[in-house]
Amino acid sequence: MVNSTLLGVVLLARHGDRLEFFQDPLTYNPTQTFLTPLGSVQELQLGSFLRSEYLDSSSPTFIDGISSDVVNINQIDVRADAGGGGSVILNSVYGLLGGLFPPTPDNNITLANGTTVTSPFGGYQYIPVESVEPNLDISLNSFTSCPNFDNHINQFYASEPFAAEAAIAAPFLQQLQPFLGNRSTDFINMFNIFDFVNVQSVHNATFLQELPPTFAAQAYGFANFHENGVFTDASPGGIGNIAINTILPSIFTSLQSFANASNPLKIALNEISYKPFISFFNVTNATASQPLLGGIVDYASVAAIELHDALPEPLVNVRFKNGTTDPTFHDVPIFGQASVPLSQFISTLAPNAINTTKEWCIACNQTTLRGCSVFSL
Ligand SMILES: *[C@@H]1O[C@H](CO)[C@@H](O)[C@H](O)[C@H]1NC(C)=O
Ligand SMILES: *[C@@H]1O[C@H](CO)[C@@H](O)[C@H](O)[C@H]1NC(C)=O
Ligand SMILES: *[C@@H]1O[C@H](CO)[C@@H](O)[C@H](O)[C@H]1NC(C)=O
Ligand SMILES: *[C@@H]1O[C@H](CO)[C@@H](O)[C@H](O)[C@H]1NC(C)=O
Ligand SMILES: *[C@@H]1O[C@H](CO)[C@@H](O)[C@H](O)[C@H]1NC(C)=O
Ligand SMILES: *[C@@H]1O[C@H](CO)[C@@H](O)[C@H](O)[C@H]1NC(C)=O
Ligand SMILES: *[C@@H]1O[C@H](CO)[C@@H](O)[C@H](O)[C@H]1NC(C)=O
Ligand SMILES: *[C@@H]1O[C@H](CO)[C@@H](O)[C@H](O)[C@H]1NC(C)=O
Ligand SMILES: *[C@@H]1O[C@H](CO)[C@@H](O)[C@H](O)[C@H]1NC(C)=O
Ligand SMILES: *[C@@H]1O[C@H](CO)[C@@H](O)[C@H](O)[C@H]1NC(C)=O
């Protein structure tokens, strides 16, 4: 943590607990799933935690000048990935916002006739959320319908480290097979195997009772290897890191807005899946010192990219909280440092950024879907 005035924060938040989620291991095309009441509670708790960090004037990371009771909608920008399993991510962000800016009787208005009216549910605060539709805006869900990313996945599946890990996992997957219904135990299906085990362990009492105690953690470990290979790249600007490289432009714009005293923005909240987290920690070299960040972060995890006031220019630092069971933020060194000047943060990452749909179409070799047909590439 940097010990000076906080100018603003970009938040990357993962959705909460949901039902089973199948993704095609060759394309990561998703199927429909649903947020559970537990997931909504986890997001509300995350929002309350963030409120205590950023909106409580006694917190060392209180955001300078923020309206902390009744929201000022010019100070917060909220976007949610509308791809990936239907409404899970969008519905998650409403839970988070409910904790960040809870209902307050101060959310009232006095009418001309003298009557004071408080908004519904004891002063609920309706905060605008941009639903980022994958067919209109590639930024939060850039890893599907991307042929070059599919090639990257195939190359990973054909690689030597993949074969070696698959061989290590094989005896375990054989033991796990009776618990998996008819699901494929091919190692390329490892995310779906883990997800099934994880979801059943949370929601199915019989399954939880019958599954040997170490199996869930073992499945998690193998899935982490699998997803790390899919959502990273030997080069920070490589296609394997596309999940974060399409979000970078909005991160830069938000941080620059925080640094600009005439711009009201103070919080930029991006509600997303686990994938951009893996790529983010890869392109910022965070995993060099904290290898666990290379895995699937828990539900309702958050990465905070903070901008602190400093001379000659503001400093960027990152903190991470690993889901609901993790009680606090943890400092995450980026590029081997506790914090970096804003201009350095941007100049280091900017060469990797995918700034427009057209750049995405080119990076992916996509010529028809996701708005690419209008460009003659
Ligand atoms: C309405 O909100 C104001 C603050 O904006 C507060 O002082 C007042 O107590 C509220 N009125 C009611 C009836 O809650
Ligand atoms: C004032 O206007 C509101 C909204 O139209 C209405 O509900 C309320 O009954 C009115 N109060 C009085 C005292 O007329
Ligand atoms: C597994 O597949 C077999 C044959 O295709 C089918 O009869 C059976 O119902 C399936 N079991 C489950 C749990 O889906
Ligand atoms: C719960 O788990 C048991 C044991 O694996 C399985 O037989 C059953 O079909 C599962 N129930 C549901 C609703 O998935
Ligand atoms: C700062 O923000 C204001 C208001 O949004 C804008 O007009 C101005 O161009 C910004 N300055 C810089 C240097 O970006
Ligand atoms: C980023 O990912 C690549 C490919 O998996 C890996 O070789 C590299 O070591 C990772 N970088 C860091 C800092 O962990
Ligand atoms: C997050 O917590 C899970 C346990 O719920 C653990 O397996 C994982 O390694 C943790 N990740 C980090 C980055 O600490
Ligand atoms: C990130 O780490 C790699 C080695 O893993 C190093 O070559 C590279 O210079 C580092 N990048 C930055 C910006 O610190
Ligand atoms: C995106 O913009 C940055 C400057 O902010 C630039 O460095 C980068 O090369 C651009 N990306 C592409 C693919 O042109
Ligand atoms: C791009 O995709 C087309 C098929 O749509 C294929 O013919 C071509 O070889 C691909 N280009 C590259 C560089 O992969």
Please check whether residue 193 lies inside any domain of the structure: no
Q: Average of pLDDT values for 26-44?
A: 95
Residue with CA closest to ligand 1 atom 10: 106
Half-sphere exposure of 141 (CA within 13 A, CB side): 27
Domain containing 275 equals: 6-131+263-345
Cα of 227 to ligand 1 centre, how many Å?
A: 49
Q: What is the CATH number of the domain that holds 118?
A: 3.40.50.1240
Ligand with minimal distance to 149 CA: 10
Q: For Cα atoms 180, 182, 188, give the angle at the middle one, nearest 5 degrees.
A: 75
How many distinct structural domains can be found in the chain? 1
Cα of 116 to ligand 2 centre, how many Å?
A: 9
Please check whether residue 341 lies inside any domain of the structure: yes
Helix, strand and coil content of the chain, in percent to the nearest 5, comes to 45, 15, 40
Give the mutation target among 180, 202, 207, 211 for probing the ligand 4 site: most ligand atoms within 8 A of CB: 207
Residue 1 has pLDDT above 70, yes or no: no
Residue 75 has pLDDT above 70, yes or no: yes
Residue 2 has pLDDT above 70, yes or no: no
Distance of CA 332 to the CA centre of its chain: 16
Please check whether residue 64 lies inside any domain of the structure: yes
Model pLDDT, residue 84: 73
Q: Average of pLDDT values for 199-207?
A: 97
* Alpha carbons 54 and 6: distance in angstroms, whole number: 9
Please check whether residue 225 lies inside any domain of the structure: no
How many other CB atoms are found less than 10 A from the CB of residue 49?
21
Ligand with minimal distance to 281 CA: 6
Please check whether residue 23 lies inside any domain of the structure: yes
Q: Average of pLDDT values for 209-219?
A: 97
Please check whether residue 148 lies inside any domain of the structure: no
Please check whether residue 218 lies inside any domain of the structure: no
Give the pLDDT confidence of 290-345 residue by residue, as tens digits.
Answer: 999 999 999 999 999 999 999 999 999 999 999 999 999 999 999 999 999 999 99
Residue with CA closest to ligand 9 atom 10: 353
Ligand with minimal distance to 286 CA: 6
What band does 152 get if pLDDT is binned at 50, 70 and 90? very high
Please check whether residue 368 lies inside any domain of the structure: no
For tokens 């917190």, name the residue. 59
Q: Average of pLDDT values for 111-121?
A: 98
Q: Residues 331, 61: contact at Cβ < 8 Å?
A: no
For tokens 């080119």, name the residue. 362
